[in-house]
Amino acid sequence: MTIKVLVIESSRDYRALISNHISVRWRDAKITEYDPAESGRFSESFSGASNDLVILGDPLQPVKGVESRHGREAATDWLTQFRRVSGFPPVVVIGDGDQRDVVRAIKSGAADYISRDRLQHKNLIALLENVLDEHEACNEKSQTRVPADGLEIPGLKGYTIERCISGGDISSVYLARKSDGDQQVVLKVLRQVPDFGGDNALLDRFLAEFEAIGHVSHPNVVNIFDLGIADNHAFIAMEFCSRGSLKRLIRQGMDAADAEKVMRGIAGALQAIHVKGILHRDLKPTNVLFREDGSLALIDFGLAKQAHLKAELTGTGEIFGTPYYMSPEQGHGEPLDERSDIYSLGIIFYEMLTGQKPYEGKTAMSVILKHAREPLPQLPAHLAAYQPAIDKMIAKRPGQRFQSIGELLEWRPATA
């Protein structure tokens, strides 16, 4: 893969370091290094169109003739300009700020953010690959649905599209704004509504997401505002969570107390849906988002299954979900209950504590087999107080796990 990357960074050493990391991963990459202190701000007409990715340092050295706080210019000033350009390539910010700076960067249009103190090859490349993959998928899935100006989806009235967040096989996700006000929402749009009278399983599964969440009222479950079908598009409008996903927090590194707090927040949401007879079945860090006030919201119930839904929605033995977080029984297409969601939460909890997934492999099947056969992962010594919870959350056999979310929430780590 030949990629074109623009590196905007005031420090010559950091520009060289970033370029070296990229060249090691993509040997034929075309990298342009740009010194903002020497060359100044890009003109308003700069489109970035010749690049696949932009890496932006934060903060930047002062640019002549530009007023800036504390003598240095924030990356958000550049992001605001870039965001106004339709089709601008994704921008990754590398900075040394706190969580508030991360939030400001993401809200200003950054695709992702990585701290300088975590600028190791593995972390940086994993982040860049993810951003490139999501951008490519979004472009491929949306090109038949969104007109060139990117302002609206044909037939979908009342919303103005601001940008594509992600694209998937079933649906794509957009950040939008309600046309009658300033409220930002997230639109999940089904790729194409099947012809009525034909095979409507895909549409039924999509609408089941709204049905599932619509029956739940809990502070840690995402709020749904609207559901509809316009032309050949089915859509769900839900709240916009401005602080991004749990995946970003894991990349930045989490201490044990924060990891436990988030785990319990997710558990509370699961308890609320389990009471309604709903399983999530696709728990993963990207399905846990954070609002402006820091509270979390569990999202993406597209795989959720209610007991009364007909079996033909998924097909007997058919496997859905993400292999890294699947329970052994889910990976083998066996019947599921709430203990499968507990297993997935345990895998996420381990990843929050260590920054690593417990089971990885080159293929989905190799990961599925490891979940079923490999020994339980062991936490580092300084996290030993959490080992009993991990052991009981991700036990291979459902009967050896916590039998309910309520039982899990009663657990407390042993104190020294």
Supply the residues annotated as catalytic: 282
Apex CA 304: angle with CA 331 and CA 402, to 5°?
A: 65
Q: Which residues are within 8 A (CB) of 229 and not within 5 positions of it... i.e. 6 or more apart?
A: 193, 235
According to DSSP, the β-strands at 233-239 and 224-230 are antiparallel
At 42, list the tokens.
């890009």
Rounded to an integer, what distance in angstroms lies between the CA atom of residue 288 and that of residue 274?
17
Which residue do the tokens 């409220």 mark? 183
Rounded to an integer, what distance in angstroms lies between the CA atom of residue 328 and that of residue 323?
10
Contact predicate 293/219, CB 8 Å: no
Q: List, as one string, the DSSP characters of 21-77.
A: HHHHHSTT-EEEEE-HHHH-PPPTT---TT-SEEEEEESBPPPTT---GGGSB-HHH
At 269, list the tokens.
């949401």
Rounded to an integer, what distance in angstroms lies between the CA atom of residue 176 and that of residue 160?
5
Rounded to an integer, what distance in angstroms lies between the CA atom of residue 106 and that of residue 240?
12
Rounded to an integer, what distance in angstroms lies between the CA atom of residue 45 and that of residue 15?
24
Look up residue 392 and give its amino acid: K
Other beta carbons within 10 angstroms of residue 30's beta carbon come to 14
